Structure 1
Amino acid sequence: MGLTAKIRTRDGWAVSHAVVTVTDMTGTQVLRAEADTDGAVHDTTTLTPGAYTVIVTAVGYAPTASSAIVTAAGRAEVGQVTLARQGGTELPPPGPWTIDPAHSSIGAVAQHLGISSVHGRFTDFAGRIEIASDDVATSRVEATISAASIDTGNGLRDGHLKSPDFLDVEKYPHITYRSTGVTPAGSDRWTVHGELTMHGVVRPVDLALAYLGTGADPWGGTRAAFRATVELRREDFAMNYNQVVQAGISAIGTTLKVELDIQAVQGESLPAV
């Protein structure tokens, strides 16, 4: 009996200080509960079957409201509630922003043997974001990744990924991305259009971008956070190596899921910390 919910940010973090309020159809509050350290709400209050409104609030986040049905067993399973950071409906203040590699990550996931995933990341990269002051659609981002910085936690595998079968880092030492435009895709989401150069091949690539908010840092600066995802096909970048194992299953999947968690500092350079 009661109510269960899980409160998360756009980038998947638990909102431990969230408050869930439930009102009936007359607007009368019938339940109030706080999320635990995992962002989970488990309240055992017995509710009368029917329709209710569930309101979730948290300091620093935009409130959200949704409908819920309490079953005959007195249970309401709200599921996951995603909160957007306040200010997320607009881009950060205009001007230059410098990507902070120490507080950012570029990860990639590939399927292995058709049953599991191999996770990797690039450890050496830099980038710059320019937020336009007049037309947001003309905002720009440029990033450069050292191809040789690929790290999957296995030296033998990393060596193979750096070889001509894949990234061919000696011939193509850098992976670059340059945006060509930005279009809104939701209240705090954007589509970044651009060109990705990898393995000597240039392809148009769109990033699904979530703006996570802006805030002050301990060193007197201002930081903005973003999360972006994209799925790439290896063959689009002339990386056609594969080994087929039993039942025709490829050892390595043909697609690559890329996840970017980016923190940028306002200004042309990073602070000395």
Structure 2
Amino acid sequence: MRKSLLAFGLLALLSSNAFAANYVVDTSGAHASINFKIQHLGYSWITGRFNTFDGKFSYDPAKPEAATINVNIDTQSVDSNHAERDKHLRSEDFLYVKKYPNAKFVSTKVESLGGERLKIFGDFSLHGITKPIIIMAEKIGEGKDPWGGYRAGFSGTTRIAMADYGIMTNLGPASTHVELMLNLEGVQQ
């Protein structure tokens, strides 16, 4: 009896993970992006992106709350389409890339909001400080690709206060927060 209970428990454990798939974010094919925007003096938006990053995630459509995500960002790769501004963004006033060359997000919990919508909780590390954030996300789709692989894609947004990460440069009252947009397409491993 004890052996059959143990076998049943093992089978249940294995089957609960049987449909979870591991993905690597497709950065080599430029099928993913990490973008940002911040208000400029309250008059317009300055937009940009990080050109170098990597990541992985695990996802089971039958159990979205079991998903995990891990993304690493090379802060030196900040690109706002303006060389002088990018130099300033890399300085001690903002990202201080010489001291803090990486930013990182690691999920801690995922809630399914119904349909394809997810609320992803996690720890975001930037400028040497780690704080909890929430990413509101949506599954865009999944399926076979033309090269014999299988892909899944998600899009998400979050908003962070620069002061929470020790970035104290005063850009005016309309420019205290940065909006981040993540578009992640992963290739199943």
What's the TM-score bracket when you normalise by the shorter of the two chains?
0.7 to 0.9
For 2:114 and 2:164, how far apart are their aligned partners in 1? 28
Pick aligned residue for 2:119 from 191, 195, 220: 191
Partner of 1:100: 26
1:138 shift after superposition: 3.1
Partner of 1:154: 82
For 1:153 and 1:230, how far apart are their aligned partners in 2? 22
Moved over 3 A (4+): 132-136
**Partner-residue secondary structure (3-state), 2:154:** strand
Gaps of 5+ in 2: 1-18
Gaps of 5+ in 1: 1-92, 244-249, 268-273
Partner of 1:257: 179
Closer, same or farther: CA 252–159 of 1 in aligned 2, 3 Å: farther
Aligned length: 169
For 1:265 and 1:96, how far apart are their aligned partners in 2? 8
Higher Rg: 1
Q: Output aligned runs, 1:230-269, within 5 Å.
A: 230-243=158-171, 250=172, 253-267=175-189
For 1:123 and 1:214, how far apart are their aligned partners in 2? 24
Partner of 2:92: 164
For 1:242 and 1:113, how far apart are their aligned partners in 2? 10
CA RMSD of aligned residues (A): 1.7
1:197 shift after superposition: 0.3
Larger helix proportion, structure 1 or 2?
2
Contact kept? 1:97, 1:130, Cα under 8 Å: yes
1:135 shift after superposition: 5.3
1:133 shift after superposition: 8.8
Larger relative contact order (C-alpha < 8 A, sep ≥ 6)?
2
Contact kept? 1:95, 1:133, Cα under 8 Å: no
Q: Deviations over 1:118-176 (max 9, x none)?
A: 00000000000022598543321101000000000101000110011110001000000
Partner of 2:136: 208
